[in-house]
Amino acid sequence: MRCRVLVLCAFICLFVLLVEGRQRKVSRSGARSVAVQNRQRNHRRTNNNNSNARRGNRLSARSNNQKRRRLNAAKRNKRRSSLAKKSERKSTSSASSGSSYATIPLDFKQNFVRTTDNLRADKVFVAHRYGGSFAKTNGSARLTNTGNMEYTCKMTLGTPKQSFTVLPDTGSSNVWVPGLYCTSKACRTHNRYRPRKSSTFIKVGKKFAIEYGSGAVQGVLAKDKLGIAGLSIANQTFAITTNEPGSAFVDALFDGILGLGYESISVDKVKTPVQNMCSQGVISTCKFAICMRGGGSSSRGGVIIFGSTDTSAYTGTNSYTYTPVTKKGYWQFALEAFYVGSTKVSGTSQAIVDSGTSLIAAPCAIYHKINKIIGCTETSSGECWMKCSKAVKAFTFVVNGQKLVIPGDKMKMRVRTNKGNIVCISVVTCMNTNFWILGDPFMRNYCTVFDMANNKIGFASST
Ligand SMILES: *[C@@H]1O[C@H](CO)[C@@H](O)[C@H](O)[C@H]1NC(C)=O
Ligand SMILES: *[C@@H]1O[C@H](CO)[C@@H](O)[C@H](O)[C@H]1NC(C)=O
Ligand SMILES: *[C@@H]1O[C@H](CO)[C@@H](O)[C@H](O)[C@H]1NC(C)=O
């Protein structure tokens, strides 16, 4: 009797050993990716002192993992996955007992080439998942200032990169560059985009036309990679001009325009570069800042920063005054009051910040009042002339309860007349609008943050 029980026991033991051995073999090959994934998850939960380097590793591991999972989903059969689950449980416990992070095998996907696009997509994915953002990306481009009249920066299109000088314009929302087949003089005197030379060019073909205060252009829409400030936007829709009539852009110091306004004023409802930067995770915080410098030399042009509002090189410790955007088209806000010296010239009115305008344009009634106080002489062409020795009182713009003050000598501009004389003109001109257009003379004194995430505008005095 005892003997028979012993033999039975021996058989059972042998059977159990055999089955276990087989399971181990199968799970070692089939459940690897799941195990890795699980270990990562476990690690995240238990380890509170992740370094950035570890984080980086985790991102790439996850990226590989996702791809692999997708590829293998069809192949995997039921038994394998159930075995995988078992081994998953096993590896969880081994991970929590302190196995080193560095042992996670990353070699199982040999053909996968990690690109910056993979990594960025992955960062966006992870950032969304945790409602946070360690996908911190930002970039800045130098502005070139020509005679305090035009501020331009570099931009590239295509692969390989074709370079353009563009006007960063917060008063419009489209991107365009001269086209190779545009025969207008303005096109011939500027860099032209060559679609056939770019491997990332995508034809859209839709016709495009836009009018600015200063001129108009016509063209066709296309998509390509857009590079600016060291950042790269995939599939940016822009216009290749076919016609730039008249003289408006012939002598322009820029090839094209980089629109930085809201989508609602974008012709053909084209998604703006800033929108694409945000949706593609090129920048992690949906804001940009512009600081313009005076002096009119290229080395003192200023900066445009995407994805960051760190303007301390220009604003020092001066803090930003924020005000909500009142209408999402231009960067529009409520100007609560305006003073010249101690004289209140206007109460509440609307204003836009426009980096593409070289002057300040006030509603005409206000313009005339300002000129009376300054004591300058209005001309028929909408300028107000004075001797350069004339003292001008400070201008005060009241924004969200804060006084933004600009010294009077910054509110006049030296110009050469046709007769060769030097006179000074007020930087304020007259426009047939019911809102102010605060162009470069304003922006030269206040760095401006354009916060698309929170729809607000910030001003900080530049030093
Ligand atoms: C951080 O990790 C190290 C080893 O990787 C460990 O010795 C240390 O106790 C950990 N610190 C915390 C706060 O978890
Ligand atoms: C850009 O367009 C190409 C072709 O349509 C597409 O394969 C790619 O995924 C797009 N990239 C992004 C980031 O939208
Ligand atoms: C901007 O990028 C730098 C590194 O390129 C980083 O150190 C910094 O934190 C970033 N700033 C923001 C606001 O994302």
Return the pLDDT at 65.
Answer: 42
Query: How many Cα atoms occupy the beta-carbon half-sphere of 334 within 13 Å?
Result: 9
What torsion do the CA atoms of 370, 372, 373, 376 make, to the nearest 10 degrees? Answer: 90
The pLDDT, as a whole number, for residue 429 is 94
Ligand 1 centroid from CA 49, angstroms: 6
Indicate which residue of 169, 224, 255, 451 is catalytic: 169
E-only strand ranges, 90-197? 139-142, 144-146, 150-157, 162-169, 175-178
Residues β-bridged to residue 447: 460
Q: Would you say 143 and 305 are in contact if contact means Cβ atoms under 8 Å apart?
A: no
228 burial via Cβ count (<10 Å: 0-12, 13-18, 19+): buried
Looking at the CA of residue 48, tell me the nearest atom of ligand 1: 14
Q: Provide the token pair at 303.
A: 């900066």
Which helix H or strand E contains 289, and what residues bound it? Answer: strand 287-292
Cα gap 13→366, rounded to integer Å: 98
Residue type, 365: A
100 in contact with ligand 1, CB cutoff 6 A: no
Residue nearest to atom 7 of ligand 1 (CA): 49
What per-residue confidence (pLDDT) applies to 366? 96
Contact 377, 384 (CB under 8 A): yes
What's the gap in Å between 128 CA and the centre of ligand 1?
Answer: 27
Of all atoms in ligand 3, which is nearest to the CA of residue 285? 14
Q: Is 49 in the pocket of ligand 1 (CB under 6 A)?
A: yes
pLDDT at 213: 78
CA distance 241 to 312: 38
Between strands 402-406 and 456-461, the pairing is: unpaired
- The CB-side HSE value for 29 (13 A sphere, CA atoms) comes to 5
CB distance 141 to 154 below 8 Å: yes
The Cα–Cα gap between 212 and 64 comes to 48
Q: Give Cα 26 distance to the centre of its chain.
A: 49
Residue nearest atom 9 of ligand 1, based on CA coordinates: 49
Radius of gyration of the chain (CA): 31
138 lines ligand 3 (CB under 6 A): yes
Q: What's the gap in Å between 117 CA and the centre of ligand 2?
A: 11
Rounded to whole angstroms, the Cα distance separating 358 from 437 reads 10
Best residue for ligand 3 mutational test, from 140, 308, 451 (most atoms within 8 Å of Cβ): 308
167, 254 Cβ separation under 8 angstroms: yes
Minimum-distance ligand to the CA of 229?
3
Q: Which ligand minimizes its atom distance to the CA of 271?
A: 2
- The β-bridge relationship of strands 422-426 and 331-335 is unpaired
Active site residue 169: yes
Q: Whose CA is nearest to atom 6 of ligand 1?
A: 49
What residue has token string 């760190």? 310
Report the separation in Å between the CA atom of 149 and the middle of ligand 3, taken as the mean of its atom positions. 31
- Residues lining ligand 2, Cβ inside 6 A: 234-235, 280
pLDDT less than 50: residues of the chain: 25-113, 131-136
How do beta strands 327-328 and 446-451 pair? unpaired
Q: Which of 48, 49, 55, 101 to mutate to test the pocket of ligand 1 (most atoms within 8 A of CB)?
A: 49
Domains identified in the chain and CATH numbers: 98-461 (2.40.70.10)
Which DSSP symbol is given to 193? Answer: B
Separation between Cα atoms, residue 432 and residue 38, nearest integer Å: 65
Ligand 3 atom with minimal separation from the 283 CA:
14
Nearest ligand for residue 202 CA: 2
Q: Residue type for 261, please? A: G
**Ligand 3 site, residue 140, Cβ cutoff 6 A:** no
If we measure between CA atoms, which residue out of 127, 431, 39 comes closest to residue 439?
A: 431
* Residues 207, 195: Cα–Cα separation, whole Å: 16
CB 292 within 8 A of CB 305: no
Q: In angstroms, what is the span from residue 38 Cα to ligand 1's centroid?
A: 21
Q: What is the pLDDT of residue 407?
A: 95
The catalytically annotated residue of 122, 224, 255, 354 is 354
Q: Which two tokens stand for residue 325?
A: 């955007």
Q: Coil, strand or helix: which one is 19?
A: helix
Ligand 3 site, residue 308, Cβ cutoff 6 A: yes
Q: How far is CA 377 from CA 32, 380, 400, 418, in A?
A: 82, 10, 33, 17
Per-residue pLDDT tens digits for 382-413:
899 999 999 999 999 999 999 999 999 999 99
Q: According to the model, what pLDDT value does residue 295 have? A: 66
pLDDT at 244: 94
Give backbone dihedrals phi and psi of 23, rounded to 5 degrees, phi first: -60, -45
Q: Which of 200, 235, 238, 277 should be mutated for ligand 2, with most atoms under 8 A from CB?
A: 235
What pLDDT does 384 receive? 95
Amino acid letter at 123? K
> How many separate helices (H) and strands (E) can be counted in the chain?
10, 28
Atom 7 (ligand 2): residue with closest C-alpha?
235
**Residue 177's beta-bridge partner residues?**
240
- Judge whether 354 counts as a catalytic residue: yes
* Contact (CB, 8 A) for 270 and 237: yes
Residue that the structure tokens 């039975």 belong to: 8
- From the list 325, 294, 332, 299, the residue with the least C-alpha distance to 443 is 294
